[in-house]
């Protein structure tokens, strides 16, 4: 590593180290605007041969580097990355290139001005980095995800499947990954950050930290190894009937994006009969007691997206034996789809602190608290009442038919209701049940309902959609808007 106009002292010391007399030649990568001639002269003064590889731009430079590699060892494999936004992708694939004696070719993400016929070509990065036309043109195999961490994970799965020893580096300080690449041919580099997906570390025997990694991030990596090595067979992960352990305080069942912690209810036993977690990006899980008409009463269910949580670190509450699903703050990054069996809707409670949760098959009776997150109830027919509290978040109901009363309480929130038929009441309140509904209400009607009674209880109606008034009549004569205390601040009907 060097600066533009001078070689850092640490690098000079390495070149002066007599034990490194194997250094006969140094390659400078980049033009004189990147690394000045003074650096080249300093190296030559030490009796070391210098060869500069450059081009008119970074794309051409990468191609010239590939040609040089081909002179030493025939290149059969080429990795295409985006030279302007794909630095992290290049770092992920660099150890593979060293291992397979391939080459990295930088592109603008749309085209490559060099022929790739006869080569095994990979496009590293998602569609925003390498577009589909370039993949098709070069007959490349895409390895990419939604962000640098998912792309890194997919590189690991493709080229290091079954690896048990890893280097970990800061996913946003790529210089560490760059300098580590030659050493990491057989021991892959995992890019990590706070909250990043560390599922690739499951089953690891060792991890080596390189560069500046926050202690909390390092702990997340260690936790991934620790909880993967718990004494649970694959069968228990699918059908959890009874688990015993002397010092086990909880069970973590985790897929790539979702973890479920089942807390024990007796001294050494966990009482949930069945836990199922799908291994999908948008995870779906269900928990219930098989062959039982009883609700799950003797345990608590905790949802976490990225790392272990325990009772003191969560918003888990004692629901008097009833269920609670807790979407813990700062940990939910993907949509979690929760399917609730018929027996579980009574006194069901969901807390959404951040992220996005979709609730399916909840017949009613639930309370949903949304703080800075997103919660949406999805069902064909909503037949029982709901209480939905929104504080600086977004909540809503999407259904064919709403036949019950849904009470929305909002404090600076957004409420969306989408339905074909509304035969029940939709009530809007302030957060204290009687004060101002402070937010925006959007009603998207798929067709004219036969009966809708909408109560708006709040303070100050300043804006109604064009053509609407306080006594607007729709359907069979029921008022669509009933205003009390002068209504609310803003209503939006339709898209």
Per-residue pLDDT reduced to its tens digit, 299-352: 334 333 333 323 232 222 222 223 333 333 333 223 344 444 444 444 556 666
CA 432/CA 60 separation, integer angstroms: 65
Looking at the 3D structure of the chain, how many domains does it have? 3
pLDDT category at 52 given cuts 50, 70, 90 is very high
- Taking alpha carbons only, the member of 312, 270, 262, 311 closest to residue 286 is 262
171 with 192, same domain? yes
Q: Are 395 and 412 in contact (CB under 8 A)?
A: no
Q: Are 49 and 24 in contact (CB under 8 A)?
A: yes
Q: What is the pLDDT of residue 389?
A: 82
CA 353/CA 373 separation, integer angstroms: 6
Q: What is the pLDDT of residue 235?
A: 25
| Separation in Å, CA 95 to CA 54, 119, 178 | 22, 19, 9
* 40 has a pLDDT exceeding 60: yes
* 125 has a pLDDT exceeding 80: yes
Which token pair is 116?
């790739």
121 with 196, same domain? yes
99 with 148, same domain? yes
Q: What is the mean pLDDT of residues 444-463?
A: 53
10 Å CB burial of residue 186 (0-12, 13-18, 19+) is exposed
83 with 148, same domain? yes
140 with 34, same domain? no
Which token pair is 466?
């064009």
Residue 20 lies in a domain: yes
Enumerate long-range contacts of 430-434, CB under 8 Å, 24 or more apart.
Answer: 430/457, 430/458, 430/459, 431/389, 431/391, 433/409
* 230 has a pLDDT exceeding 50: no
Q: Are 173 and 148 in contact (CB under 8 A)?
A: no
pLDDT category at 269 given cuts 50, 70, 90 is very low
478 with 456, same domain? yes
Residue 392 lies in a domain: yes
Q: What is the pLDDT of residue 135?
A: 92
116 with 196, same domain? yes
Residue 275 lies in a domain: no
Q: What pLDDT, in 10s, does the model give residues 423-441?
A: 777 777 766 555 556 667 7
Residue 299 lies in a domain: no
Q: Among 11-15, 146-150, 154-158, 279-283, whose mean pLDDT is lowest?
A: 279-283
Q: Are 168 and 209 in contact (CB under 8 A)?
A: yes
111 with 148, same domain? yes
Residue where the block lists tokens 């150890």: 95
Q: What pLDDT, in 10s, does the model give residues 139-187?
A: 999 998 888 888 888 898 888 888 888 888 888 877 777 777 777 677 8
Q: What is the pLDDT of residue 122?
A: 93
Residue 294 lies in a domain: no
Residue 399 lies in a domain: yes
Q: What is the pLDDT of residue 455?
A: 57
- Domain final residue, candidates 30, 54, 78: 54
* 123 has a pLDDT exceeding 90: yes
* 239 has a pLDDT exceeding 90: no
| Separation in Å, CA 212 to CA 106, 174, 187, 192, 219 | 27, 11, 19, 11, 14
Q: What is the pLDDT of residue 207?
A: 86
* 61 has a pLDDT exceeding 80: yes
pTM assigned to the model: 0.47
Q: What is the mean pLDDT of residues 73-93?
A: 87
The domain in which residue 417 lies consists of 363-495
CA 82/CA 300 separation, integer angstroms: 46
Tell me which range, 90-104, 181-195, 363-377, 441-455, is most confidently predicted by mean pLDDT.
90-104
Residue 187 lies in a domain: yes
Q: What pLDDT, in 10s, does the model give residues 406-417?
A: 888 777 677 778
Exposed e or buried b per residue across 117-149, where buried means at least 16 C-beta atoms within 10 angstroms of its C-beta:
eebebbbbbbeebbbeebbeebebebbbbebbb
Which token pair is 25?
């030649």
Between these two residues, 387 and 486, which has the higher pLDDT value? 387
2 with 112, same domain? no
Which token pair is 149?
């961490």
Between these two residues, 29 and 457, which has the higher pLDDT value? 29
CA 103/CA 293 separation, integer angstroms: 61
Q: What is the pLDDT of residue 402?
A: 80
Residue 349 lies in a domain: no
* 63 has a pLDDT exceeding 80: yes
Report the 3 state secondary structure along the chain.
CCCCCCCCHHHHHHHHCHHHCCCCEEEEECCCCCCCHHHHHHHHCCCCEEEEECCCCHHHHHHHHHHHHHHHCCCCEEEEEECCCCHHHHHHHHHHHHHHCCEEEEECCCCCCCCCCCCEEEEECCCCCCCHHHHHHCCCEEECCCCHHHHHHHHHHHHCCCCCEEEEEECCCHHHHHHHHHHHCCCCEEEECCCCCCHHHCCCCEEEECCCCCHHHHHHHHHHHHHHCCCCCHHHHHCCCCCECCCCCEEEEECCCCEEEEECCCCCECCCCEEEECCCCCCEEEEECCCCCCCCCCCCEEEECCCCCCHHHCCCCCCCCCCEEEECCCCCCCEEEEECCHHHCCCCEEEECCCEEEEECCCCCCEEEEECCEEEEEEEEECCCEEEEEECCEEEEEEEEECCCEEEEEEEEEEEEEEEEECCEEEEECCCCCCCCEEEEEEEECCCCCCCEEEEECCCCCCCCCCCCCCCECCCCCECCEEECCCCCEEEECC
- Domain final residue, candidates 227, 243, 274: 227
CA 144 to chain centre: 14
CA dihedral 201, 146, 61, 12 (to 10 degrees): -40
Residue 76 maps to which CATH number? 3.40.50.12090
**What does residue 151 show for φ and ψ, rounded to 5 degrees?**
-65, -45
CA 116/CA 120 separation, integer angstroms: 8
Q: What pLDDT, in 10s, does the model give residues 358-367?
A: 666 565 567 7
177 with 83, same domain? yes
Q: What is the pLDDT of residue 376?
A: 77
- Among residues of the chain, what percentage have pLDDT more than 90? 4
Residue where the block lists tokens 């699903």: 325
* 474 has a pLDDT exceeding 70: no
pLDDT category at 275 given cuts 50, 70, 90 is very low
21 with 152, same domain? no
**How do strand 120-124 and strand 77-82 relate by DSSP bridges?**
parallel
Q: What is the mean pLDDT of residues 392-397?
A: 79
Between these two residues, 312 and 399, which has the higher pLDDT value? 399
10 with 42, same domain? yes
Between these two residues, 189 and 487, which has the higher pLDDT value? 189
Between these two residues, 347 and 70, which has the higher pLDDT value? 70
pLDDT category at 448 given cuts 50, 70, 90 is low
Q: What pLDDT, in 10s, does the model give residues 186-225?
A: 788 899 887 777 878 877 888 888 888 888 888 878 877 7
Between these two residues, 482 and 228, which has the higher pLDDT value? 228
- Domain final residue, candidates 227, 244, 261: 227
Average pLDDT, the chain: 66
């Amino acid at each position: 590593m060097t600066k533009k106009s001078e070689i850092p002292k640490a690098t000079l010391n390495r070149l002066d180290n007599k034990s490194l007399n194997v250094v006969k030649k140094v390659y400078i990568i980049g033009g004189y605007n990147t690394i000045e001639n003074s650096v080249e002269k300093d190296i030559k003064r030490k009796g070391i041969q210098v060869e500069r590889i450059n081009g008119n731009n970074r794309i051409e430079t990468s191609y010239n580097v590939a040609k040089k590699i081909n002179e030493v060892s025939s290149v059969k494999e080429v990795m295409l990355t985006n030279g302007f936004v794909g630095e992290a992708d290049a770092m992920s694939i660099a150890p593979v290139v060293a291992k397979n004696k391939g080459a990295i070719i930088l592109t603008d993400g749309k085209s490559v001005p060099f022929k790739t016929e006869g080569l095994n070509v990979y496009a590293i990065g998602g569609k925003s980095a390498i577009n589909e036309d370039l993949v098709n043109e070069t007959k490349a195999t895409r390895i990419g995800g939604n962000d640098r961490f998912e792309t890194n994970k997919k590189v690991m799965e493709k080229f290091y499947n079954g690896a048990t020893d890893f280097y970990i580096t800061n996913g946003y300080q790529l210089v560490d990954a760059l300098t580590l690449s030659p050493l990491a041919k057989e021991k892959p580099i995992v890019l990590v950050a706070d909250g990043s997906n560390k599922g690739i570390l499951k089953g690891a025997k060792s991890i080596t930290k390189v560069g500046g990694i926050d202690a909390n991030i390092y702990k997340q990596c260690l936790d991934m190894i620790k909880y993967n090595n718990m004494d649970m067979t694959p069968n228990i992960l699918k059908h959890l009937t009874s688990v015993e352990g002397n010092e086990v305080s909880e069970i973590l069942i985790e897929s790539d994006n979702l973890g479920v912690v089942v807390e024990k209810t007796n001294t050494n036993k966990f009482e949930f009969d069945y836990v199922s977690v799908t291994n999908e990006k948008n995870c779906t899980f269900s928990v219930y007691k098989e062959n039982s008409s009883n609700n799950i009463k003797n345990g608590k269910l905790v949802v976490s997206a990225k790392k272990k949580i325990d009772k003191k670190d969560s918003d888990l509450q004692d629901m008097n034996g009833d269920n609670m699903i807790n979407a813990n703050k700062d940990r939910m990054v993907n949509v979690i789809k929760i399917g609730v069996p018929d027996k579980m809707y009574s006194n069901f409670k969901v807390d959404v602190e951040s992220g996005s949760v979709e609730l399916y098959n909840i017949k009613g009776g639930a309370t949903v608290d949304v703080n800075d997150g997103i919660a949406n109830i999805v069902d064909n027919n909503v037949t029982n009442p709901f209480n939905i509290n929104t504080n600086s978040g977004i909540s809503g109901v999407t259904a064919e038919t709403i036949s019950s009363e849904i009470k929305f309480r909002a404090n600076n929130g957004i409420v969306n209701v989408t339905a074909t038929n509304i035969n029940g009441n939709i009530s809007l309140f302030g957060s204290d049940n009687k004060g101002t509904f402070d937010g925006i209400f959007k009603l998207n009607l798929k067709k004219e309902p036969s009966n809708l009674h909408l109560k708006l209880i709040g303070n100050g109606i300043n804006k109604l959609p064009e053509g609407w008034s306080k006594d607007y009549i729709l359907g069979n004569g029921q008022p669509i808007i009933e205003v009390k205390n002068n209504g609310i601040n803003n209503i939006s009907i339709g898209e």
